[in-house]
Structure 1
Amino acid sequence: MKPILFWDFNGTILDDVHLTWQIETKMLKERHMRTYTLEEYKDMFCFPVINYYYRMGYTFENETYDDVSIEFNDAYAKGFSSCRLMPGFLAKIKEAIQKGYDNIILSASQQDNLNQQCHQLGIDQYFSYLLGTDNLYGGSKIDMAKDFMQNHRINPARCRFIGDTLHDKECANAIGIEDVVLVAQGHQSRKVLEEGCDNVAESLDEVQL
């Protein structure tokens, strides 16, 4: 059987970091809350996303997390066309295919959105599966990943994982994948990544397959 390469989507394949930060900044300004630099954003961002909102200063006393999530997702959908693929992705995915990997996306994005965005970017052809969540709230991918591994009887020893957040490593480890590389060009800074992962690359170009 082929080895499997799991890919995170947002911040790993899709360069949506600036769009996310710009939306968050606009929402904070509208609420007369403190805003953060892009570097501060990368130091603060975490999963589950509700904890990141608490870090930014949201209390959800006068609005719910659902309300904030819907506002963010509406703005994200409107701005998605400005996003591009991460530098080095196309070369790396083609290298992975050439080396015999089955490629699978494992994302916290809602499934329909993930399908549509991958099709719009013209990259769905490279992947055997696009695995998204059943909600818009940026929760954990772990349960979904466990179900997929069990249902397809996949041996984690023949899997690798590429992501851009510590949650990606947490998710990979939870399903038995030890071969994880985190790329510091996404939603978390290299400093944050190195606190929880000993295999951090500066870019996809540096990732060894």
Structure 2
Amino acid sequence: MGVQYPPPRGCPVPSVLRPVCNYPVGVQYRPAIAMSPDAEVCDHWPFTGSAGVADRFPVTDLQSTDERLPARDPKVQYEHIIWDWNGTLLDDLDVCVDVMNGLLTDRRLARIDVDRHREVFDFPVETYYRALGFDFSEESFGTVASDYCTRFDHRVADCRLHDDVEAVLGKIAAANARQSILSSCEQGSLIEAVRSFGLTGHFGAIVGQADQHAKGKVAAGADLLARAAAPRQRTLLVGDTLHDYAVAKALGIDCILVSLGHHSTSRLTTECESVVESLADVIAHVGA
């Protein structure tokens, strides 16, 4: 059976396990949850999930189908490229600042500009909200985060992809290196956003989080690597924040940061030596 998206009618999919299509590497799984008796068996959906999925879909139940991979171009330095989404592939900086200013105005807090955002934006994202003056003794962080995410989801169509996204993803795919997304976004919103920009087919895994709190993604990244056949020394994470760099260090993989998103070049270079100005520059590092 080929991969289908959306899934066949009547085939329920857990919210943290969504189909990804048109990718040469799949993962077969034996569902650990009950499916309706009339549900069509969907046995070739590549893995997409978030931290904690391993509890319900053990590694022994996820069988890599690497034998179906075409030979990787030997010039390519990395076998597996893990992309951050917001700020790295998706140019959402202005929309994020605009949405945040809506929340700040509603609470009679000082508005911010892009420079201020890039100066204080951080993970866990609750730290960022506190830096902007939110008082979580008056309303919970979960309430504020939900408000932000709802507004942002309604504005995703106002965002655009960064320059060269499709060309870069295509070159890496042509070299037969696998690609994944690792994001701090809530899983359902992430899947829908990637789909809306027509990029789903580039990725063998799209990994988000179980909630909207954006606490970080080390656990989800470790879960992803546990299922990837590529060795860590041949895995690269591409992101736009120092959190991405910290995640890469924690996972023991290489990292390149692009100065297009939520942290400025001056902030990125305080910790990371590999900082580039465009996605096209990533190709030189990958060798595709």
User: Which TM-score band (shorter chain)?
Assistant: over 0.9
**Corresponding residue of 2:260:** 185
Q: What does 1:62-77 correspond to in 2, within 5 Å?
A: 62-77=138-153
Percent identity of equivalent pairs: 28
| Partners of 2:240 and 2:232 in 1: CA distance | 20
**Corresponding residue of 1:38:** 114
Larger-gyration structure (1/2): 2
| Partners of 1:204 and 1:148 in 2: CA distance | 23
**Corresponding residue of 1:48:** 124
Deviations for 1:136-172, whole angstroms, at most 9, x for unmatched residues?
Answer: 1111100111122224454201101110011111111
Matched, 1:104 2:104: no
Number of equivalences: 208
Task: Report the structure, 1 or 2, having the larger helix content.
Answer: 1
CA change 1:151–1:127 in 2 (3 A) is closer
| Partners of 2:123 and 2:101 in 1: CA distance | 19
Give the CA deviation at 1:110: 1.2
SS in 1 for 2:214: coil
Normalising to structure 2: TM-score of the pair? 0.70
| Partners of 2:129 and 2:88 in 1: CA distance | 21
SS in 2 for 1:130: strand
Deviations for 1:183-203, whole angstroms, at most 9, x for unmatched residues?
Answer: 011111111111111111111
The correspondence for 2:90, drawn from 14, 25, 46, is 14
Considering Cα pairs closer than 8 Å and 6+ residues apart, tell me whether 1 or 2 has the greater RCO: 1
SS in 2 for 1:27: helix
SS in 1 for 2:248: helix
Deviations for 1:67-98, whole angstroms, at most 9, x for unmatched residues?
Answer: 10011011111111111111121111111112
Matched, 1:90 2:166: yes
CA RMSD of aligned residues (A): 1.3
* Structure 1 unmatched ranges of 5 or more: none
The correspondence for 1:196, drawn from 256, 268, 271, is 271
SS in 2 for 1:116: helix
SS in 2 for 1:93: helix
